[in-house]
Amino acid sequence: MRSMLKGSIGTIVGETTPLDFKFQINRQVGRGTYVKARADGRDWILAQVEDVKRSNAAYSMSQLGGHQKDYVAVELMIAEARVIGIGENGRLRAPTCPARPGEQVFVADEKLIKSALGLSKGDLYIGLLKGYDIRVELDANSLVQKHCSVLAKTGSGKSYTAAVILEELLDKKVALLIIDPHGEYASMKDPNREGDFSKFKVKPSGYDVVVYTPADMLTNPRADRPFRFEGLNLNARELAKMIPHESSSGQLGLLYEAISALRSETDAYTLEDIIDQVVRSNSKIKWNLVNHLESLMELGIFSGTATPLSDLLRPGKASVIDMTGILPELQSMIVARLLSEVFEARKRRQISPGMVVVEEAHNYIPERGTGNAASTSIVRTIAAEGRKFGLGLMVISQRPARVDKNVISQCNTQIIMRVTNPNDLKALSKGLEGMTSDLEEEIKRLPPGVAMLVSNEIERPVTVAIRPRKSRHGGVSTNIVAREKAPKPGSGERPAKGTARGRSSAPKRKDGDGKGGGILNRVLGARQA
């Protein structure tokens, strides 16, 4: 065996292939470490340690037999490395010959790692390569044009990570339209006050965000403006998108007849006029249709001044459609109508290019067999055709198995945080190219704040420590049980009466009497404080 070179962390041993090799370790090396070794004495092979094993022949099961004191304990540390490629003139090529046993192995330098993995050609800074001080940067145009998904189990940081990407896009003057079921993204207006900003070299910042509500401002007082559709002279096709898919063809036919009759009588009609026309029908199925139409009218989505589409997509600004207080089935209908109008306007170049962000995507584009949503068709269309018209898509979900696989497969950039559910892991395996059992195991072990980045723009999946948000995080869980604050030592203070043993000293709040609202309360759901 060759003499050990300065800086070497080990020596290649045993059988090697163009895809992997093993090396005996002489220093501490952990899983995930990037290493390099000479390829035929010239170019560098870049590889990554996938496993580390410790062995000692003196303590093998076949030799023990009660006589272990007769053996000398010689311990070996062997690392298994997966070859990524050979660095050559700033590019990466697949090796054709295996590494030579006896070659020295070194820790890979940052320049080789960045150039070989393709991390040095982006302009969206999302974090640091795990275990290294290497910035991971994605290409903004590629991410928007070829779509992106953020997938993780609850509590792993998916919404936080998504917001990091959105901040970078806003810094690049990309227009954003965010479908937000829980009102998490309004907090992007405010600078963040928590995080290791010095390590990741970022500064707190707030962003230009306008929050719209399809409900009324009393239901969602956090919103800046109401969101409304044009309510005058609705045609049957537009209105049909706002009616549940399970509605019978007879009800849809009745809707067409009512609107046709109104057009023959007047030049201007409203949703209320359509309802009155349907009521006049002799059909026995009219009342179910009337119920759907009245729900839309009471929601108010077609009342007042319509929200201009040009206001929703503005360069460097984010428009948030906050669905707080809207029933799930109505949410998908609103999203279906909204995205259909946005897509058509973008095809005619009437609005700015930008990106549509769909949070809790399993509710709006469910996988077949897991549910139905009126918005599925248009989101699929944007995923398939949006690139041609300058309309990108980001989908975010905690349940990958319940998201439409046609949409996930169209996302060129996948950001995956910790996932442990077997069905979700299986769905990831089907939807992502190059997913292996080793990657599945790594995804199950990812700590909070660390993501697996999979993209056609980089040579292989990498793990990234996500940078702190510049803006405040709005998705923090609410504590149900208050923790008692311990008195300072020597202060002589005692816990306030009523706070010990889980009792709260806070005054009880009286709720409203619940009167009034009728159908409106059923449509809007429980009013939030």
Note down pLDDT in tens along the chain; length 529 residues: 344 556 899 999 999 999 999 999 988 888 889 999 988 767 889 999 989 998 876 666 555 555 555 555 678 899 999 998 886 665 678 888 888 999 999 999 888 888 788 777 788 999 999 989 999 999 999 999 999 999 998 888 899 999 999 999 999 999 999 999 999 999 999 999 988 999 999 999 999 999 999 998 888 999 999 999 998 888 888 787 777 655 667 888 889 999 999 999 998 999 999 999 999 998 888 898 898 888 888 888 988 899 999 999 999 999 999 999 998 888 998 999 999 999 999 999 999 999 999 999 999 999 987 778 889 999 999 999 999 999 999 999 999 999 999 999 899 999 999 998 888 888 887 766 656 677 788 888 899 899 999 888 787 889 999 999 999 998 665 566 666 655 555 555 555 444 444 444 444 444 434 434 443 344 344 434 3
Read out DSSP for 283-328? -TTHHHHHHHHHHHHHHTTTSSSPPPHHHHS-TT-EEEEE-TT--H
Per-residue pLDDT, 354: 97
Per-residue pLDDT, 497: 47
Contact of 217 with 226, CB cutoff 8 Å: yes
d(Cα 108, Cα 85) in Å, to the nearest integer?
12
**Angle (CA) 360 212 138, round 5°:** 50
Q: For the segment 168-184, what is each residue's pLDDT rounded down to a tens digit?
A: 999 999 999 999 999 99
Contact of 454 with 432, CB cutoff 8 Å: yes
CA of 411: how far to CAs of 127, 384, 390, 408, in Å?
A: 20, 10, 15, 5
Closest C-alpha among 325, 293, 312 to residue 525: 325
d(Cα 221, Cα 237) in Å, to the nearest integer?
32
CATH class of 124-227+307-466: alpha beta
Handedness of CA 288, 291, 295, 301 (dihedral sign): positive
Per-residue pLDDT, 12: 94
d(Cα 78, Cα 301) in Å, to the nearest integer?
65
Contact of 440 with 172, CB cutoff 8 Å: no
How big is the chain by its Cα radius of gyration, in Å? 29
Ordered alpha helix ranges (H), 126-248: 140-145, 158-171, 197-200, 236-240
The tally of CA atoms less than 13 A away on the side-chain side of residue 450 is 14
d(Cα 471, Cα 271) in Å, to the nearest integer?
41
Contact of 393 with 358, CB cutoff 8 Å: yes
* Amino acid, single-letter form, for residue 78: I
Q: Which residues of 438-458 are buried (b: 16+ CB within 10 A; e: fewer)?
A: ebeebbeebeebbbbbbbebb
- pTM of the full structure: 0.81
The domain locations on the chain are 8-116, 124-227+307-466, 236-299
Per-residue pLDDT, 184: 92
* Amino acid, single-letter form, for residue 171: D
Closest C-alpha among 101, 108, 131 to residue 43: 108
Per-residue pLDDT, 295: 84
Closest C-alpha among 477, 424, 429, 480 to residue 454: 429
Contact of 118 with 457, CB cutoff 8 Å: yes
CA of 329: how far to CAs of 248, 323, 347, 363, in Å?
A: 16, 11, 27, 9
Per-residue pLDDT, 378: 94
